[in-house]
Amino acid sequence: MSDTMDNLELDIINGDEPITKAKSDEELKTKSDRGTWSKHVEFILSLVGYTVGIGSVWRFPTMCMRNGGGAFLIPYLFFLVLCGGPLYYMEICLGQFTGKSAVGAFELCKIFRGLGIVMVAMSFVVLIYEGILMAWILYFIYQSFSSPITWSTCGNWWNTPLCTQYGYIQNVSLNGTGFATNISEFPTSTMQTTPDSQNTSIIIRNDVYSSAANEFWLNNVLRRSSSLEDFGTIQTHLALSLLASWVLICICMIKGVHSIGKVVYVTAIVPYLLLTVILIRALTLDGSIDGIELYLKPKFSTLLEFQVWLDAAIQVFFSLGPCWGGVITMASYNKFHQRNISATIIIIFMAGFTSLYGGLVVFAMIGFMAKEANLPLLTVAGAPGPGLVFVVYPEAVSRMPLPQLWGVLFFFMLITVFLDSMFGMAETVVGALIDSFPHVLLRWKMYVVIGVNVVFFVFGLPFTTNGGIYLFQLFDWYSSSFGLLFGSAVEAIVLGWIYGFNRFSSDIKLMTGKDSSIFLRTMICILTPIAVTVCFILRMTSYGEPDYGDGYKYKPYAIAIGNLLAFFPIIPLIISMIRQCSSTSGSCTMVMCISSDAGDTHARKIINCPRLPGGQL
């Protein structure tokens, strides 16, 4: 930008009178009543909660274990600094500077204005299917109050003749995805002694036995059909749980940023208290240290494997959640002159710490359960997925004294972790709608919030059917990875190269009064765009078909739907680029020029275009 902007003297159009002095925070507030955070700590807590999702409990720990244990932290931290941190900081600054949600923030570069819609579309798709996760959690909380705890016994209406209580028959193993817990096959008429107090014997035929917890998950919670084609009907218990989930999210969002700012004091802090309580209890159990050792023991030889580094890069994007639009939306409620370097460092640290800390709890429980069942730790741990949370942990809880207490604490912890991410993404959608039609929708924001939550409830109903779990796996496999990496790569290129970090750093200086560091310039101008783009390309070359497990394979039509789902979020960007190119005459500079709506909407800046290379006006 020009020296004038560097000195915080950019002309700000206010009616017919140019203003050459930066305004105070109060003067920079618009009359749109979008709202601002009451305290900066509320913004930090909201992003900590938004960033730390349920993947910290089931994805990161198992990913770490299977990619070298403690050695996995090296590539993870490398990509956290190289890709995750700079992108996260850019999104915070972009949201704060423009004062808009994701759908309006990228007006600063006309040809890429559709990138914000890409982010909103990804959040929209994820919200459709992740609501069922919260429904499952609520149902488990409800069932945790039963005595004996529901998933610990056989002989219930959902159990099969092959049901067995965990530990009464050994050689139990998880399948490839962690969705099912099966007992390995034995030859016909083989005698096996059960370790119960009566020391009786049973005959194990050439059948596959399953644990009580696994049958509760498959036959009570999911009531799973045989395939995606056998869709079945809506299950009342899951539909009611889904309704309760969206009602809870709606209550948290009902007054916008003001209600969210108060809720996060609970949802962002309580999980750490509960994790600590559960970890202390887990460490008193026999075998817990073995599980933690499996989790953290470094295997440095794995650092020579290409897939380990790619997994670490992908995990960073899942952990931090850039390019979902939530970070930009939350930051848009910041006061204009708020400094964010410290907040970014805190949030990134908490994201990494929570993933590591949550893994201690999970693997302490896995170690205990492996010891109880006399099974290999790797067999019990399985692979990342719902089975780790809804089969492995409940099974461990059922073997503990006071299982009802520990079941309620664990699943309540998951609720508090999950709520922040859910209403963060939902606020992204609400903010996009209101910023697109401010004169119509702003005064009716409460009803917009209610309407959005109703839509997500209705769209989530197919996941409550008998075949809903197959649909969930299909959505989870295709809807996030491609769009997330693609959007992150485009975002890094737009802000680092096309809009240009010279311009962007001048915008940051206008807000904070400080120049960006050489480290940040190097990351955003050179390393981050290159690294994110390479990760996207490599991920696409290694993309495979979804695997539910149990030998189930999706049919070609389902895979085709999945591929369409993966490409769906990027369609708005392609359309907006075509429209911009067809409606703008002149040079490439004119096509890519800064929008007249760019800049801080609070101050109503008008920045003329085109801009010359190097960021000069």
Structural domains in the chain? 3-149+225-591 (1.10.4160), 156-222 (no CATH)
Q: Of 53, 118, 114, which Cα lies nearest the Cα of 482? A: 118
Cβ contact 62:384 at 8 Å: yes
Contact 113, 319 (CB under 8 A): no
Cβ(88)–Cβ(352) below 8 Å? no
Is 266 flagged in the annotation as binding?
A: no
Q: Measured in whole angstroms, how far is the alpha carbon of residue 333 from the centre of its chain? A: 21
Closest-CA residue to 64 (of 388, 362, 293, 295) = 295
Q: Is 52 annotated as a binding residue?
A: yes
Indicate the burial class of 571 (C-beta count within 10 angstroms; 0-12, 13-18, 19 or more).
Answer: middle
pLDDT score, position 53: 80
The Cα–Cα gap between 547 and 564 comes to 18
Upstream peptide bond of 187 is cis (omega within 30 degrees of 0): no
Distances in Å between the Cα of 173 and the Cα atoms of 136, 185, 264, 467 are 23, 10, 39, 24
Is 420 annotated as belonging to a binding site?
A: yes
pTM of the model: 0.84
Model confidence over 203-228: pLDDT tens digits? 334 456 678 998 999 999 999 998 99
**3-class secondary-structure state, position 515:** coil
CA distance 271 to 413: 5
The closest of 317, 386, 329 to 54, measured between CA atoms, is 386
Nearest in space to 197 (alpha carbons), one of 155, 162, 153, 167: 167
Can you give the pLDDT at residue 32?
45
pLDDT at 62: 78
Rounded to 10 degrees, what is the CA torsion of 79, 84, 85, 90?
140
Pair of tokens at residue 512: 């904070």
Q: d(Cα 394, Cα 214) in Å, to the nearest integer?
A: 9
Categorise residue 374: left if φ over 0, alpha if ψ from -120 to 50, beta otherwise.
left
Residues of the chain under the 50 pLDDT cut? 1-32, 167-206, 596-617
pLDDT of residue 75: 93
